[in-house]
Amino acid sequence: MSSSKTVFIAAISSDIGLKLADLYLQAGYQVIGTYRQSTQLDNLKKQDRVTLLHCDLNRDQDIEQIGAVMQSKGLIWDEFISAVGLLSPIGKFTDVSAQEWTQSITVNSLQQLALLHAITPYKRAEASGKVAFLVGGAINRAFPNYSAYSLGKVMLVKFCELISDENPQLHCVAIGTGWVASKIHRQTLDAGAQAGNNFETTKDFVTSGEQGTKIEDIYALIQWCFDRPQTAGRNFSVVHDDWRDGGEALSNALCDDQDMFRLRRHGNQHKTVESSTKAKTNS
């Protein structure tokens, strides 16, 4: 398979980022990737179709420099995937450092958005830019002791809806990956009791040696979303959503329900109907 497209992968040095880069290369893409540490990038450095850019998302100047590098090298992109994720600081909100907590929210959301902002001028002009943020499992349930991580990811989900509505040239989706065997779990193991019940759950998963969600499935869902305009602005789950085997029923449901897979107040529709009924009764 060949492709003239280019994918930009933020945190290409993460375990998920590395595998996604390999899958995109197999599909014939050019690959641009940012990294903070290059220790796992030896194989990618040998690839002619890979451009690696150092970028520490904690440093505003690094993010600003990416745009300048894109311009100087004449680089453009078609798809943007952010595999950035920081679980720390792990612990109760009142027990962790306020500075670390704020910084974590920033890295898990605002700095990723700043990076997208920096490279948006270098999107291929004749097509809409496809954007996917990997948001983990902190969206649809409480995630005690991981509030900074959760809040950052929720912000990304809402951003996808806002920007997709605001700018048709950016098709943004959030992808919940489920459990994936990766080095990010070391943060939970290092936190110990600070992680609460999630410590034992994570320890059991890591020691089991299971892969969890396959990176190939994450890649496949991203492509499924990018191929369907009605997915823009929505939040998807690799594990729980019925997108496999064509996903025709899910695709049709998204067309029929504009609130599906978006952040909404649960039960809002019921309350609206109830209030309307009371109003008619009293009139």
Q: Tell me what pLDDT residue 1 has.
A: 43
DSSP letter (8 states) at residue 230: G
Q: What is the mean pLDDT of residues 123-133?
A: 94
Q: Which CA distances in Å does 280 have to 267, 269, 272, 276?
A: 20, 17, 12, 6
205-219 per-position pLDDT tens digit: 999 989 899 999 999
Strand-strand pairing, 6-10 and 30-35: parallel
Backbone angles phi, psi at 189, to 5 degrees: -65, -40
Q: What residue type is assigned to position 85 of the chain?
A: G
Domains of the chain: 6-282 (3.40.50.720)
Q: What is the mean pLDDT of residues 89-106?
A: 97
Look up residue 87 and give its two tokens. Answer: 């679980």
Q: What is the mean pLDDT of residues 29-58?
A: 94
Look up residue 35 and give its two tokens. Answer: 């990294």
212-246 per-position pLDDT tens digit: 999 999 999 999 999 999 999 999 999 999 999 99
Residue 275 has pLDDT above 80, yes or no: no
Question: Under a CB-based contact definition with an 8 Å cutoff, are residues 215 and 192 in contact?
Answer: no
CA angle 253, 255, 259 (to 5 degrees): 80
Distance CA 60, CA 53 (A): 15
DSSP SS3 for 138: coil
Nearest in space to 176 (alpha carbons), one of 151, 162, 157: 157
Question: Under a CB-based contact definition with an 8 Å cutoff, are residues 177 and 211 in contact?
Answer: no
Question: Under a CB-based contact definition with an 8 Å cutoff, are residues 93 and 71 in contact?
Answer: no
Quickly state the pLDDT bin for 264 (edges 50, 70, 90). confident
Q: What is the mean pLDDT of residues 64-71?
A: 96
